[in-house]
Amino acid sequence: MIIVGVDGSRAGLEAAGWAAGEAALRGTPLRLVHAMPSWACEEDASGRLAEVARWMREGGRTVLAAAENRVRGEQPGIAVETGLLPGDPRAALIEAARDAELVVVGDHGLGGVRGLLVGSVAYGVAAHAECDVALVREVPVAPRDEVVAGVDGSPTAGRVLDVAFREAELRKLTLRAVHAWSLPQAGGFLSPAGDGERDQVLMLKERLAGHRERHPGVVVVEEVVHGHPVAALRQAAAGAELLVVGSRGYGTLKGMVLGSVSQAMVHHAPCPLLVAKRDR
Ligand SMILES: Nc1ncnc2c1ncn2[C@@H]1O[C@H](COP(=O)(O)OP(=O)(O)OP(=O)(O)O)[C@@H](O)[C@H]1O
Ligand SMILES: [Mg+2]
């Protein structure tokens, strides 16, 4: 099951469209959800608020119907259901995604505090959902035919590549595996040593080997960059169809917190972003 949050914004609708495409590719049902305050969901409320609650539920159903209309039009083959969820949208989406394989949100919503790169619901879901999260933002008009994966030396790299190879295969796209590295800075600029570079190239090859065997149809481009991973990934993903990164959660917090590169990508990825979480 793929879950997508809609809030009546254009970004939410774009997210629903993206999620429907993904559901069609994966052959998975899609659930459109809209969260609203719990009191507005109580059908048997009485008193002055009851009228407001009824009006809000109607608004929520309209939001869901608009999204449902769009996804049924674009992807008539997929199974679609809708749900009004009570509570804070972050908590509601994270809870709804508990047993899902993927939760999808737009980068902005109706709130739109000026200057924020990403909305609070989008950020909260990306950081705290236990399943994989897709953050949909300005899909490039003519995307480069590539899925880009950020590969580091950590244990999460295997999961990132699982997801990225699968996406490249489903979408019939090239997979660009990007590994950025740098020497520790010692009070100034250090130029890369030749051997360091060779080690990094070997590391990436080793990481990719098993995945390549399992997905012989996927064309892979290996890119080892000397520099900061955030800059390298932003550059590599500009105009790409999808960027996949890990969540690099810290052990003690059970993978619930994003690492700094993932965080930066949630804010700055130049294309739709998929954050691969830990093995479930
Ligand atoms: N009430 C909601 N129900 C379901 N999904 C939601 C809801 N609110 C937001 N979303 C999802 O989260 C995405 C991002 O919206 P978000 O609320 O984070 O941005 P914003 O409204 O611009 O910021 P903020 O709410 O922090 O002011 C939306 O495109 C939608 O996918
Ligand atoms: Mg909002």
**Domains of the chain and any CATH numbers:** 2-136 (3.40.50.620), 144-276 (3.40.50.12370)
- Which one of 57, 110, 121, 266 would you pick to mutate in the ligand 1 pocket, going by the greatest count of ligand atoms within 8 A of its CB? 121
Residue 159 CA to residue 144 CA, distance in Å, equals 24
| DSSP for 10-61, written as a single string | HHHHHHHHHHHHHHHHHT--EEEEEEE-HHHH-TT--SHHHHHHHHHHHHHH
User: Residue 190: its pLDDT value, please?
Assistant: 54
Residue 174 has phi, psi (to 5 degrees) of -70, 145
Cβ–ligand 1 distance for 121 under 6 Å, the answer yes
Residue 226 CA to residue 229 CA, distance in Å, equals 9
Cβ–ligand 1 distance for 78 under 6 Å, the answer no
**HSE (side-chain half, CA atoms, 13 Å) at 199:** 10
Ligand at minimal distance from the CA of 113 is 1
Ligand at minimal distance from the CA of 6 is 1
pLDDT tens track, the chain, 280 positions: 999 999 999 999 999 999 999 999 999 999 999 999 999 988 877 778 899 999 999 999 999 999 999 999 999 999 999 999 999 999 999 999 999 999 999 999 988 777 778 999 999 999 999 999 999 997 777 888 999 999 988 888 899 999 999 999 999 999 999 999 887 665 555 555 556 888 999 999 999 999 999 999 999 999 999 999 999 999 999 999 999 999 875 554 555 578 889 999 999 999 999 999 966 5
Residue 200 CA to residue 207 CA, distance in Å, equals 11
Indicate the length of the chain as a whole number: 280
Cβ–ligand 1 distance for 113 under 6 Å, the answer yes
Residue 20 has phi, psi (to 5 degrees) of -65, -40
